[in-house]
Structure 1
Amino acid sequence: MSEPLVMIPGLMADARLFLPQMVWLGAERSCQVCVAARGETVEQMSEAMMPGLPEKFALLGHGLGGDIALDIVRRVPERVTRMVLMATDPFSEPPQQAVERETRMVMARAGRLVEAMAQEIPVAAVADSPWRDEIMALVQDMALGLGEGVFLRQSRALQRRPDQQKTMRKVRLPALVLAGRQDPLMPLRRQEFTATLMPYGQFQIIEDAGNLSPLEQPEAVSQAIEDFLNGPMLLR
């Protein structure tokens, strides 16, 4: 069997974010989902995951999960065989965005988590489709399942996230950046630049998808990940 795939969901998402990919890929490799529920920084979250990781593995991270994936590569580059990043921002959070995030955190503390999430991931973040409402309902359900405490810790981690450009330039492994064509939260140009930062980075666009492409276009995303994972290994 191929190397395990460690999947790290983004803000307030659980394993259901990657359920289509787990079904698609699960026949040929084990899939392990790690939710960032402990720690208040990217570094603390990656450290909390370390004891449960396989000896050798591929990484898939979405949003905050991508930031954590990069920090895992920084810690144990010899254990990671390849990496997929989705909707991941390798830069530290700008002050204005940090202020806006603080406002949403105040809302969550006041018992308005659903309202905070509606601002965090608005309907416009998902490309128009017949299943857009179903995806947004799942976003709310995942958030309520994880709860206010996880929202606050993950939000704080995003506020404090490090600039990971230096780490990315040292990533000596195959890396794929998958970007939704209609993602308003993470512009295509930013994601393409993310791919160029890595010596062996590849960039691929998922059509008719926004910020949550694993759910919006599950077949296209699953096929892209499968093709990448089955590609040639990099001898190091």
Structure 2
Amino acid sequence: MIVLVPGMLCDADLWSDLVEGLPGPVVHAAITADSVGGMAEQVLSSVDGEFSLIGLSLGAIVGFEVARRAPQRLRSLHALSTNAGPPRPEQLAGWTELAERTRAGQFAEVVAERILPAMFADPSPPRARRERFLAMADRIGPEVFRAQLAAQATRVGAFDAIAALPAPVQVLCGDRDALCPPEFHRDIARSAGGGEPHVLAGAGHLLPVERPAVVGALLRGNLPARATSGGGA
């Protein structure tokens, strides 16, 4: 079983260009709680038994918390475009500002002006990518966005949980990710036992949208055979 966990303001469409090529049953986990711990419990309750987890950004942060809480249930962990460190002061201040603006009715402006420019390698992405992200954000909506911002503020450093996880960890990132640069991922890969992350040239934050064929191939090459079996949703 494979559980896909999207990033903030993303839904199952994040994975739509590569999901059919994944080896085995797939579950799309929703992350709508207002804490990373609550989101981890949402993931754990979305499927029975053991599973492989593929998460992007906040979804991978939730994956690290799953690894902390239930390492025995993970067959493998695949972390894309993410950060295993605790929040920085400037991040906390920024999330508070975004939440306040969203509460004041400026959700569309926040998404278009503050979030979208950091999602792709180009701050002004092609129209199709722009509209695809904005459509996902619109489906997520302002209330869940505020919960996700609150959850971001509850995260803790995850390097200890990564280092203790007995399952294999795969790390992917783009070299033009404005939010989570390659050095973040090198730290994750070192904590997982050495090696280097897969760094995709010319790619930004939303790797499954910008590089679906490459990401899909890398995932397929690293998912354990037993990820194709497991419990139901």
TM value normalised by structure 2: 0.90
- Higher RCO (CA-CA < 8 Å; seq separation 6+): 2
**Quick one: which of 52, 56, 66 aligns to 1:58?**
52
Distance in 2 between the 1:125 and 1:145 partners?
17
Match of residue 192, structure 1, among 182, 186, 209:
186
Secondary structure of 1:96's partner?
Answer: helix
Deviates more, 1:133-142 or 1:177-186: 133-142
Task: Check 1:207–1:232 CA distance in 2 against 1; reply closer, same or farther (3 A cut).
Answer: farther
Match of 2:21 in 1: 24
Change over 3 Å in CA distance of 1:218–1:85 after alignment to 2: same
Per the alignment, do residues 220 and 129 of structure 1 end up closer, same or farther by CA in structure 2, a change over 3 Å counting?
farther
Cα offset for 1:46? 1.0
Q: Report the CA distance between 1:106 and its aligned residue.
A: 1.1
Whole-angstrom distance in 2 between the partners of 1:232 and 1:189 = 31
Q: How far does the alpha carbon of each residue in 1:172-218 deviate from its partner, in whole angstroms, 9 at most, with x for none?
A: 21111100121111111111111111126651112221000100011
Unaligned runs of 5+ in 1: none
Could you give the per-residue CA deviations for residues 139-171 of structure 1, whole angstroms, max 9, x where no partner exists? 111111111110000001112211112111212
Cα distance per residue 1:108-128 (max 9 Å; x no partner): 111211211234423354124
User: 1: distance between equivalents of 2:125 and 2:91?
Assistant: 29
Q: Which consecutive unaligned segments of at least 5 residues does structure 2 have?
A: 228-233
Give the one of 22, 33, 39 matched to 1:45: 39
Provide TM-score, normalisation by structure 1.
Answer: 0.89
Q: Output the CA distance in 1 between the equivalents of 2:78 and 2:114.
A: 23
User: CA offsets, 1:121-140, max 9 Å, x none?
Assistant: 23354124997321121111
The Cα of 1:49 is off from its aligned counterpart by 2.9
Query: How large is the RMSD of aligned CA atoms in angstroms?
Result: 2.1
Partner of 2:116: 122
Which residue pairs with 2:107 in the alignment? 113
What's the counterpart of residue 33 of structure 1? 28
Task: From the superposition, tell whether residues 53 and 200 of structure 1 become closer, same or farther in structure 2 (CA, over 3 Å).
Answer: farther
User: Which residue in the other structure is 1:182 paired with?
Assistant: 176
Counterpart residue identity of residue 76, structure 2? R
**Cα 1:195–1:12 shift into 2, 3 Å:** same
Deviations 1:8-33 (Å, cap 9, x if unpaired)?
001010000011121221xx301111
Residue in 1 that maps onto 2:145: 151
Query: Does 1:161 pair with 2:155?
Result: yes
Counting aligned pairs with the same residue, the percent is 25
Q: In structure 2, the residue corresponding to 1:84 is in which secondary structure?
A: strand
Secondary structure of the equivalent of 1:122? helix
Q: 1:77 and 1:139, CA in 2 relative to 1: closer, same or farther beyond 3 A?
A: same
Partner Cα distance (2:111, 2:181) in 1: 20
The verdict on how the C-alpha distance between 1:174 and 1:200 changes in structure 2, with shifts beyond 3 A counting, is farther
